[in-house]
Amino acid sequence: MYEEVLTTEDFSTICRTCLIQYDAETLLDIQGIYLLSGEVKLMDILMKYTTIEESETYPQHICTHCLVRTEEAYTFFEKCNESNAILSQITESVIKEMETEDRVDVSNLRAKVKTKQSLKL
Ligand SMILES: [Zn+2]
């Protein structure tokens, strides 16, 4: 759809991530933005979680809507990774316990994980 109406002449007035056209002054420079109180570079997030790469020939701006979406998505995915790491630690500790007890029982593993989660969280 977009490729039918957009040309390279529009690149200075469209958002790199949604391709919506805005007044140039409402768009932000995609290279100079840091999110989460300046901790993470926008382009690093986009390159980590999308197929977007740095390119001088593509649009160099982003709209404020996409900026908010990017920060929310980044926060969500980082939370997922953090939660997964916690789950992995819990599971590993249970497996180590079971190895010392010389028992391998999946139903027992589930019960222990549930108990540990309810104690910790
Ligand atoms: Zn946008």
Q: Model-level pTM greater than 0.75?
A: no
Q: What separation in Å is there between the alpha carbon of 33 and the centre of ligand 1?
A: 14
Q: What separation in Å is there between the alpha carbon of 13 and the centre of ligand 1?
A: 11
Q: Tell whether residue 63 is among the known ligand binding residues.
A: yes
What would the pLDDT profile of 84-104 be if each residue is shown by its tens digit? 999 999 999 888 888 887 655
Give me the sign of the Cα torsion angle 3, 30, 63, 51: positive
What would the pLDDT profile of 34-68 be if each residue is shown by its tens digit? 999 899 999 999 999 999 999 889 999 999 999 99
Instruction: Give residue 50's domain range.
Output: 2-120
Look at residue 104 in the predicted model and tell me its pLDDT: 57
Q: What angle do CA 84, 121, 75 make, to 5 degrees?
A: 45
Q: Tell whether residue 18 is among the known ligand binding residues.
A: yes
Determine the straight-line distance between the first and last CA of the chain, rounded to whole angstroms.
Answer: 47
Q: Tell whether residue 80 is among the known ligand binding residues.
A: no
Q: What separation in Å is there between the alpha carbon of 80 and the centre of ligand 1?
A: 24
Q: Indicate the number of domains in the chain.
A: 1
Kindly give the pairing relationship between strand 28-29 and strand 34-35: unpaired
Reply yes or no on whether the pLDDT at 74 is more than 60.
Answer: yes
Q: Are 36 and 79 in contact (CB under 8 A)?
A: no
CATH assignment at residue 76: 3.40.1800.20
Q: How confident is the model at residue 121 (pLDDT cuts 50, 70, 90)?
A: very low
Number of residues written out for the chain: 121
